[in-house]
């Protein structure tokens, strides 16, 4: 074995071991580096997102359309899909002495079926106020047949119909009659969702918008009095549609929102699937979402012992949103309802929601006399006897957000292509990179002793530096004994994301070598089992970053430190190892060119970076990097 290769493998083993020693079995609470990093990032975003910074209504009104467009984007709805014919079908009717339930479906996109139940009074005079009820995660399944979560929440639709409303209750993607997926990053390791800019929250928001389109076609419906409510997941979807669509005139999201601090620092993310989150490209806290409903009537509803929507976060969101309502002089249109109880669909929550709609849609302040009760067995509310063969519900994640197309020869020849794409990547993928002034330039250099390589004495220098606040990295440099770092004239940097170093990465290396490992400390591995690793990783995406995106920054910092410490360098080569190729090529676009980059092959794995494949085709990356530096492909050279 090549002696340099053997030494590099030793160095990386020591580097990773030093980062993880003693970490096994520790929780996030006693992993201080990780906890400090999350605390610092959340605090920074709290300050930049604080709504009380808007001093006048004009200030808010200027920013509101920008924020709404950002929300469309973060839900994968920019551009909006085409509003194609809904093809609604009523498959049956269930009757009660006071109301009628229509079992129906429509297609929000071709093959994307939305199943629902439309509740309407038996007797009505003229169009009625209409509530869109969006369901939480209440699975109803018997003998392998899903009846949809609309059957779990049927008592809400029944109450509205018995009290003079039309109510459309629609199934969600995850627990509808056609069972889609909400858990891509939560448990299925579909980290490519990050790269595509996909979240099932976008599908739920789109289905809600199309539900309003359908309701506008119904003669029983007063489209000037649309309301929305739902709890848990349905609370979240209530926020999406109320924030995006002004057709919603009154909203009661129940147990569907809390602060970024609760999700990231306090770990509430572990209790939520991906439908609860937009892709946080613009690094929001959640009060911004809530404020987009202003000045329409909004009741924020929650219980006081809800572990996944904690009271403190709910109250803080209300505090900030109240400021925006006060700017509109519409404080009477914002309510905060906190009742005693856990994360459950309690009667106390029902009563306040019903009274809120009665007050704002019917000017009715009388007492609620009828309770919300279930009248039907789940099979009675089933829409499909047989599921449609052309459904795309089960694979909508692959097509809802389009991947960036390959470029034509003419587009590739555009003179500003490289500059335009790197600027776009900064805006769409790397907003979470730290500002230069926030990163310490201090580098600690420690002698690591000497070793014999092919009969020649070599020195080891370890460089310890800050990649960003609370993220420490190390590089080991193997160089001639007695030669100071600042006098090195050539150097090979080997970048390894972690694990053993492939032999191919060290082929042909001679002379000074630096090793940068991207796995220590804050950027993993972390305490806990595989499930815990996933939930920690999900915290990063809520902050508008991913591990791969921050590792690109780590490589940039490594290059900066090498050039600072080795000020006489005339030749700098980068070797990619262990799947770091795409990360190295991306980093090379933002630093002064190196002499060459050596990759095992040009068939690159797609990095899990927010919006990356939505912004550019991954196949374009070698072309772009090759415009700035020489690319050497080992597989082609053999």
Tens of pLDDT, residues 576-600: 887 899 999 999 999 999 999 999 8
Which of 295, 314, 290, 280 is CA-nearest to residue 201?
280
Query: Which tokens belong to 581?
Result: 């190729």
CA atoms within a 13 Å half-sphere pointing along the CA-CB vector of 310: 16
- Angle of CA points 275, 286, 156, to nearest 5°: 55
With cut-offs at 50, 70 and 90, classify the pLDDT of residue 24.
very low
Question: Do 608 and 191 meet the contact criterion of CB atoms below 8 Å apart?
Answer: yes
Q: Which DSSP letter does residue 408 get? A: P
Domains of the chain, start order: 73-398 (3.40.50.1820), 444-521+549-637 (3.40.50.1820)
Average predicted confidence (pLDDT) for the chain: 91
With cut-offs at 50, 70 and 90, classify the pLDDT of residue 5.
very low
Question: Is residue 370 classed as helix, strand or coil in its secondary structure?
Answer: coil
Question: Do 147 and 376 meet the contact criterion of CB atoms below 8 Å apart?
Answer: no
Question: Do 619 and 580 meet the contact criterion of CB atoms below 8 Å apart?
Answer: no
pLDDT above 60 (res 608)? yes
Please return the burial class of 399, using the count of CB atoms within 10 Å of its CB with bins 0-12, 13-18 and 19+. middle
Please report, rounded to a whole number, the percentage of residues in the chain having pLDDT higher than 70. Answer: 92
Q: Which DSSP letter does residue 130 get? A: E
227-237 pLDDT tens trace? 999 999 999 99
Dihedral over Cα of 42, 45, 47, 52: its sign? negative
Which of 469, 476, 467, 470 is CA-nearest to residue 446?
476
In the chain, the largest separation of any two C-alpha atoms, in whole Å, equals 98
H helix runs in 128-181, sequence order: 149-152, 154-162
Tracing tokens 């926030």 back to the chain, one arrives at 438
pLDDT above 60 (res 288)? yes
In whole angstroms, what is the distance from residue 75 CA to residue 376 CA? 35
172-183 pLDDT tens trace? 999 999 999 999
Which of 357, 367, 300 is CA-nearest to residue 160?
357
pLDDT above 50 (res 51)? yes
Whole-number pLDDT of residue 361: 97
With cut-offs at 50, 70 and 90, classify the pLDDT of residue 12.
very low
In whole angstroms, what is the distance from residue 1 CA to residue 376 CA? 73
Whole-number pLDDT of residue 21: 31
pLDDT above 80 (res 501)? no
Whole-number pLDDT of residue 638: 52
Whole-number pLDDT of residue 571: 95
pLDDT above 90 (res 601)? no
Question: Do 331 and 367 meet the contact criterion of CB atoms below 8 Å apart?
Answer: no
With cut-offs at 50, 70 and 90, classify the pLDDT of residue 498.
low
User: In DSSP terms, which residues pair with 118 in a beta bridge?
Assistant: 102, 168
pLDDT above 90 (res 437)? no
Question: Is residue 124 classed as helix, strand or coil in its secondary structure?
Answer: coil
Contacts of 357 (CB under 8 A, 6+ apart): 129, 131, 160, 165, 227, 229, 250, 252
Task: Please give the full DSSP string across 209-241, using - where no structure is assigned.
Answer: HHHHHHHTT-TTEEEEEEEEEEETHHHHHHHHH
- Angle of CA points 196, 202, 208, to nearest 5°: 160
Instruction: Give pTM, 2 decimals.
Output: 0.93
H helix runs in 363-500, sequence order: 409-412, 417-428
In whole angstroms, what is the distance from residue 617 CA to residue 404 CA? 5
Question: Do 559 and 493 meet the contact criterion of CB atoms below 8 Å apart?
Answer: yes
Distances (CA, A) of 248 to 220, 227, 283, 296: 17, 5, 26, 8
pLDDT above 90 (res 457)? no
With cut-offs at 50, 70 and 90, classify the pLDDT of residue 23.
very low
With cut-offs at 50, 70 and 90, classify the pLDDT of residue 25.
very low
Q: Out of 97-106, 457-466, 507-516, 540-549, pick the least confident.
A: 507-516
End-to-end CA distance of the chain: 19
Distances (CA, A) of 126 to 29, 444, 569: 58, 77, 82
Q: How many CB atoms lie within 10 A of CB 59?
A: 12
H/E stretch holding 355: helix 347-362
Whole-number pLDDT of residue 634: 81
Q: Out of 208-212, 324-328, 436-440, pick the least confident.
A: 436-440
Question: Do 103 and 382 meet the contact criterion of CB atoms below 8 Å apart?
Answer: yes
In whole angstroms, what is the distance from residue 119 CA to residue 160 CA? 8
- Please state the rounded mean pLDDT for residues 603-610: 88
In whole angstroms, what is the distance from residue 361 CA to residue 363 CA? 6
Whole-number pLDDT of residue 27: 45
With cut-offs at 50, 70 and 90, classify the pLDDT of residue 14.
very low
- Please state the rounded mean pLDDT for residues 598-621: 91
Query: Which tokens belong to 589?
Result: 């676009």
The torsion defined by the Cα of 309, 310, 315 and 316, in degrees rounded to 10, comes to -90
205-230 pLDDT tens trace? 999 999 999 999 999 999 999 999 99
In whole angstroms, what is the distance from residue 300 CA to residue 286 CA? 13
Contacts of 159 (CB under 8 A, 6+ apart): 350, 354, 370, 371, 372, 373
Length of the chain in terms of residues written: 638
Q: How many CB atoms lie within 10 A of CB 469?
A: 15
Q: Is the peptide bond before 295 cis (omega within 30 degrees of 0)?
A: yes
Dihedral over Cα of 15, 21, 23, 24: its sign? positive
In whole angstroms, what is the distance from residue 45 CA to residue 223 CA? 38
305-325 pLDDT tens trace? 999 999 999 999 999 999 999
Q: Which DSSP letter does residue 631 get? A: E
């Amino acid at each position: 074995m090549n002696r340099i290769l053997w030494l590099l493998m030793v160095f990386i083993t020591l580097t990773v071991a030093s980062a993880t020693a003693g970490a096994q079995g520790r929780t996030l609470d006693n992993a201080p580096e990780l906890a400090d990093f999350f605390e610092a990032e959340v605090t920074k975003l709290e300050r930049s997102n604080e709504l009380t910074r808007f001093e006048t209504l004009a200030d808010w009104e200027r920013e509101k359309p920008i924020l709404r467009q950002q929300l469309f984007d973060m839900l994968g709805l920019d551009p909006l899909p085409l509003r194609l014919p809904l093809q609604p079908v009523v498959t049956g009717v269930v009757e009660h002495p006071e109301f009628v339930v229509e079992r129906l479906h429509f297609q929000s996109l071709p093959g994307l079926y939305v199943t629902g139940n439309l509740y309407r009074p038996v007797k009505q005079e003229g169009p009625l106020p209409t509530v869109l009820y969006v369901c939480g995660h209440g699975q109803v399944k018997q003998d392998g047949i899903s009846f949809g979560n609309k059957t779990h929440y049927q008592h809400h639709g029944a109450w509205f119909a018995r009290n003079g409303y039309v109510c459309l209750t629609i199934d969600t993607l995850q627990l509808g009659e056609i069972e889609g997926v909400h858990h891509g990053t939560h448990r299925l390791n579909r980290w490519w969702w990050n790269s595509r800019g996909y979240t099932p929250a976008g599908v739920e928001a789109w289905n809600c918008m199309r539900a309003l389109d359908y309701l506008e076609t119904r003669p029983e419906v007063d489209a000037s009095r649309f309301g929305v409510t739902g709890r848990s997941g349905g609370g979240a979807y209530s926020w999406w549609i109320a924030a995006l669509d002004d057709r919603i005139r009154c909203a009661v999201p129940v147990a569907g929102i809390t602060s970024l601090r609760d999700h990231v620092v306090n770990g509430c993310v572990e209790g939520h699937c991906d439908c609860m989150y937009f892709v946080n490209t613009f690094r929001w806290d959640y009060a911004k979402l809530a404020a987009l409903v202003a000045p329409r009537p909004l009741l924020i509803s929650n219980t006081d012992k809800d572990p996944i929507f904690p009271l403190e976060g709910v109250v803080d969101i209300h505090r900030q949103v109240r400021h925006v309502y006060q700017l509109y002089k519409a404080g009477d249109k914002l309510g905060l309802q906190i009742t005693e109880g856990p994360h459950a669909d309690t009667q106390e929550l029902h009563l306040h929601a019903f009274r809120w709609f009665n007050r704002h849609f019917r000017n009715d302040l009388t007492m609620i006399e009828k309770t919300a009760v279930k009248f039907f067995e789940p099979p009675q509310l089933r829409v499909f006897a047989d599921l449609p063969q052309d459904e795309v519900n089960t694979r909508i994640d692959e097509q809802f957000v389009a991947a960036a197309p390959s470029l034509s020869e003419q587009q590739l020849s555009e003179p500003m292509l490289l500059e335009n794409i790197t600027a776009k990547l900064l805006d769409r993928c790397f907003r979470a990179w730290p500002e230069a002034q926030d990163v310490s330039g201090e580098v600690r250099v420690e002698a690591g002793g000497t070793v014999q390589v092919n009969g020649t004495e070599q020195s080891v220098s370890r460089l310890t530096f800050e990649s960003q606040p609370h993220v420490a990295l190390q590089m080991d440099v193997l160089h001639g004994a007695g030669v100071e770092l600042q006098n090195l004239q050539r150097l090979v940097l080997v970048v390894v994301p972690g694990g053993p170093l492939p032999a191919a990465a060290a082929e042909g290396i001679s002379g000074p070598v630096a090793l940068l490992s991207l796995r220590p400390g804050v950027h993993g591995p972390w305490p806990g089992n595989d499930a815990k690793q996933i939930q920690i990783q999900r915290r990063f995406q809520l902050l508008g970053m991913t591990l791969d995106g921050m590792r690109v920054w780590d490589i940039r910092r490594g290059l900066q430190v090498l050039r600072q410490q080795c000020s006489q360098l005339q030749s700098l080569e980068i070797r990619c190892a262990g799947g770091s190729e795409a990360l190295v090529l991306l980093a090379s676009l933002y630093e002064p060119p190196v002499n060459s980059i050596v990759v095992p092959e040009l068939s690159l794995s797609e990095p899990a970076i927010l919006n990356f494949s939505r912004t550019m085709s991954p196949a374009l990356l070698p072309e772009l990097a090759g415009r700035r530096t020489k690319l050497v492909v080992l597989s082609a050279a053999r």
